Amino acid sequence: MMMLSSLSLQLLDDKNIFIDEDIIAQQRFIAIKGNWKSVTPNAMLINVYTPNVIADQETLWADHFSLKSQTLCYWIVRGDFNSVRYRNERSGCSNPFHGVDGFNKFIEESNLIDIPLREKLFTWFGSNNRRCRLDRFLMDEVWFLCLHNLVQIGLKGSISDHIPIVLSLEEINWVLDRSSL
């Protein structure tokens, strides 16, 4: 389930929140460039579906990296990346390292941040108790400076084999519990 699609449509409907300047549609992603008025003038919201084949993934990463270097926008990328970042994000699968190196290289070279997922360990559930964290939000650091305490939360699944994930602003209690000192 692609929650960014819903968010993008809501933002595009309300010109007091987001003014779209350009929409880029490719086979595997849709990107909406615009002005998120209360946050940043240069936002790029991207919804991606990454193929399973590693060579195709690497082509997509190269396309995204090229687009990122051309747009000079602050990115939020949401999607099914069909890859994990770490071994513990895959369980019951035959190849726990499938696509890890290319995915991590793309994230690092694009200067994107993968914030922790709350509430769930995995976002995809397959047959024979296979499960992975394939879905996530990746974003530029500026989003954390503008929107403090940003987290992604895994929601309860429904009919899809993927659970929905959402971005949320989380309240953090900074009160020190002196009884534990």
CATH of the domain at 142: 3.60.10.10
d(CA 83, CA 95): 11
d(CA 50, CA 168): 24
Range of the domain at 146: 3-180
128 within 8 A of 93, measured Cβ to Cβ: no
Q: What is the pLDDT along the chain (181 residues), one digit of tens a residue?
A: 334 444 444 555 566 777 888 888 888 889 989 887 777 678 898 999 999 888 999 999 888 888 888 888 899 999 999 999 998 898 988 776 777 888 999 999 888 999 888 889 999 999 999 999 999 999 998 887 777 778 889 999 888 999 999 888 776 554 555 454 4
- Tokens representing 163 are 């659970």
> Among residues 79, 72, 84, 78, which one has the least CA distance to residue 33?
72
Count of domains forming the chain: 1
Q: What is the pTM of this model?
A: 0.82
Q: Report helix, strand or coil for 76.
A: strand
